[in-house]
Chains A and B, each alone.
Chain A
Amino acid sequence: AQRVTQPEKLLSVFKGAPVELKCNYSYSGSPELFWYVQYSRQRLQLLLRHISRESIKGFTADLNKGETSFHLKKPFAQEEDSAMYYCALSADNYGQNFVFGPGTRLSVLP
């Protein structure tokens, strides 16, 4: 069965510092990986997906199949990046087997 792990429950960085939110997965096939974000008092929303290879709000994530990782990175953290971040995996394109990680709370300090 597929599984997503996010080793850090809480990550605190100072404004302007680089940030990396770790995500590892276990799945024998070729998964699709996503990052979802939930800002304070807002809904959970899709941040980015690996297949699009885009940068959203300065964040990027590269799928490393060898290390089964999909870490989220940003070179210079901003206070407005403070939120809960969830890594998610889809084992197919049919909505089945969509698994979320436990989440990492990012706190960007002034």
Chain B
Amino acid sequence: EAGVTQSPTHLIKTRGQQATLRCSPISGHTSVYWYQQALGLGLQFLLWYDEGEERNRGNFPPRFSGRQFPNYSSELNVNALELEDSALYLCASSSTGKLYEQYFGPGTRLTVT
């Protein structure tokens, strides 16, 4: 069984630009979660998508947004990038009924210069 995949592995952007990060969940999983792991801050919950709908979002500004496609893959978009957006962005997926059992991807390292 293939795990959660994320692309790209690394992304370097300039302040003010937009970044798009992608995630493919495990086959059969309908929920996708996005987390930000900034240095020294641990994992911060960003967004949760299930069945194509945004179900919940963490305490992040609206310039963090995303969507989930019919095949359950997901995109995270970060607009108007700021230096403090530099972090590892983790995607996780889970199946309905086992939402606590999240399977994580390897992450995308976003660097904003």
Mark out the residues of chain B between 62 and 113 whose CB falls within 8 Å of any chain A CB in the assembled complex: 90, 92, 94, 99-106
- Say yes or no: B100 contacts A34, CB within 8 Å: yes
Interface size class of B (residues with CB under 8 A): 20 to 34
Interface size class of A (residues with CB under 8 A): 20 to 34
- Say yes or no: A46 contacts B56, CB within 8 Å: no
User: Which B residues lie within 8 Å of A97 (CB)?
Assistant: 56
User: Which A residues lie within 8 Å of B105 (CB)?
Assistant: 43
- Say yes or no: A102 contacts B48, CB within 8 Å: no
Given contacts A45-B104, A86-B43, 13 further A-B contacts (CB under 8 A): A34-B100, A43-B3, A43-B105, A44-B92, A45-B103, A90-B100, A95-B56, A95-B94, A95-B100, A96-B56, A97-B56, A98-B102, A100-B42
The reply on A93 being an interface residue by CB < 8 A is yes
- Say yes or no: B42 contacts A101, CB within 8 Å: yes
Complex Cα–Cα for A103 and B45 (A): 14
- Say yes or no: A86 contacts B100, CB within 8 Å: no
Q: A43-B106, A90-B100 are in contact. Are A95 and B50 (CB under 8 A)?
A: yes
Render A89-110 as a binary contact track against B, CB cut-off 8 A, 1 for contact: 0100111111111110000000
Complex Cα–Cα for A20 and B35 (A): 27
The reply on A62 being an interface residue by CB < 8 A is no
The reply on A49 being an interface residue by CB < 8 A is yes
- Contacts from A to B (Cβ < 8 Å): 32, 34, 43-46, 49, 86, 90, 93-103
Choice from B45, B94, B104, B106 contacting A99 with Cβ under 8 Å: B45
The reply on B55 being an interface residue by CB < 8 A is yes
- Say yes or no: B90 contacts A102, CB within 8 Å: no
The reply on B2 being an interface residue by CB < 8 A is no
Complex Cα–Cα for A49 and B103 (A): 14
Complex Cα–Cα for A67 and B44 (A): 25
By beta carbon, the residue of chain B nearest A32 is: B100
Complex Cα–Cα for A101 and B33 (A): 17
- Say yes or no: B42 contacts A86, CB within 8 Å: yes
By beta carbon, the residue of chain B nearest A43 is: B104
Q: Which 8 A-B pairs have the closest CB atoms?
A: A95-B99, A102-B42, A100-B43, A44-B104, A96-B56, A43-B104, A90-B100, A95-B48
